[in-house]
Amino acid sequence: MRTILFILQKEFIQVFRNRSMLPIIFVMPIIQLIVLVHAATFEMKHIKLFVVDNDLSYTSRQLTNKFGGSPFFVISNQSFNRKEADDAMQNGDIDAILSIPYNFEKTLYKENKSDIQLIVNAINGTSGGLISAYSTMVIADYNKSIVLKSFPVSKSLPTKNINTTYSFWYNPELNYKTFMVPGILVLLVTIIGFILSGMNIVREKEIGTIEQINVTPIKKYQFITGKLLPFWIIALFELAFGLLVGKLLFHIPIVGSIWLVFLVASVYLLVIMGVGLFVSTVTNTQQQAMLISFFFMMIFILMSGLFTSIESMPSWAQQVDKINPVAYFIRIIRMILLKGSTFTDILRDFLSLGFLAIIMLSLSVWRYKKRAA
């Protein structure tokens, strides 16, 4: 135990002495939290709409104003020339085109129906779907108002309506930041636990001190514990600071137990640091370690459910995701913070993380060879 404490002391001195590493550990994760929470969102506002109104009637102007009054749309341009609108979309200046044909109002009141054309830039399928849905809602709402004006309901006749009352659980305001902050917090501890812990051991190889350590009486478990434990402590500190920032800046609800979050984070970090240690055993330079770490990080993050739902992935991808520790921790932290889940609710995912921790640490310790050369 005394030997481990000496190694811990040496590691903390080395960490705080390295001025280039301090911003990576303490500054970059917080900037990442603040920036990504605002940037990584599927909420669409300020959709640029180009209106081609060839009718110039009262009805067409009312429909245009309906779009302009929506919080989702911004009418960036209006014209009679359809080619001008097509060129603007081709150049990426607009997101959608609303084309209102000639005699729109006349046809609507004469035949009780009329056509308009909506063209959506669907290079991004998700954005295109949202723009189409928002546009359909605006048009449907305006169509309803036209029907009520044309066929007013007599006050003497009783009307039967079905009223729907919405109740959104766990995120009543439908705030996307509330959904994203817990996931970004997972990235904070992942960067510390995965990349830095693995690169720290590789750095010993590059400067040649690993050979000096290997010829000492220090046992393998003492060396690995002393190397990984500082980043385990720092990562938990980052998580605590990130939760504080999330609460103060983004007002995320913390419904469940904070201690349960840190318990799961402690086990999760063992998995991540086990992967980082394994990377360090198969690489000899920090550049190699960074490239391999980036490879695993991209797969872990993109398949974690941070940005897209795991349930929407193909069945084979969902099966592969069972060995993705990031997916487990993101699901657990959202359940605890937003739903107030207890240990019983997360038991299956927690045991899966524990199993992955045992596998990765055992594999990494076995792969690491303590030798002089």
Q: What is the pLDDT of residue 221?
A: 73
Q: In b/e form, how buried is each residue of 361-370, taking b as 16+ CB within 10 angstroms?
A: beebeeebee
pLDDT, tens digit (0-9, with 9 covering 90-100), for 234-292? 889 889 988 998 888 888 888 889 999 999 999 999 999 888 888 888 888 878 888 88
- DSSP assignment of 5-65 equals HHHHHHHHHHHHH-TTHHIIIIIHHHHHHHHHHHHS-----SEEEEEEESS--HHHHHHHH
> By C-alpha distance, which of 63, 38, 37 is closest to 49?
63
CA 172 – CA 79 distance, rounded (Å) = 41
CA 116 – CA 114 distance, rounded (Å) = 7
Q: Which CATH number fits domain 47-150: 3.20.20.20, 3.40.1710.10, 3.40.1280.10, 3.30.56.10?
A: 3.40.1710.10
R_g (Cα) of the chain, nearest Å: 28
Fill in the DSSP letter of residue 339.
I
Domain ranges across the chain:
15-40+173-367, 47-150
pTM confidence score: 0.77
Q: What is the pLDDT of residue 260?
A: 95
Q: What is the pLDDT of residue 271?
A: 92
Cα dihedral: 251, 254, 258, 261 (round 10): -100
Sheet containing 96-100: give its strands across.
Answer: 73-79, 47-53, 96-100, 117-120
> Which two structure tokens, joined as six digits, stand for 246?
């999330």
What is the mean pLDDT for each group of 10 consecutive residues in the chain (373 residues)? 73 71 73 76 79 88 88 87 88 89 86 86 82 88 78 55 71 80 88 78 73 69 78 88 88 90 94 87 82 86 83 85 91 92 93 92 78 46
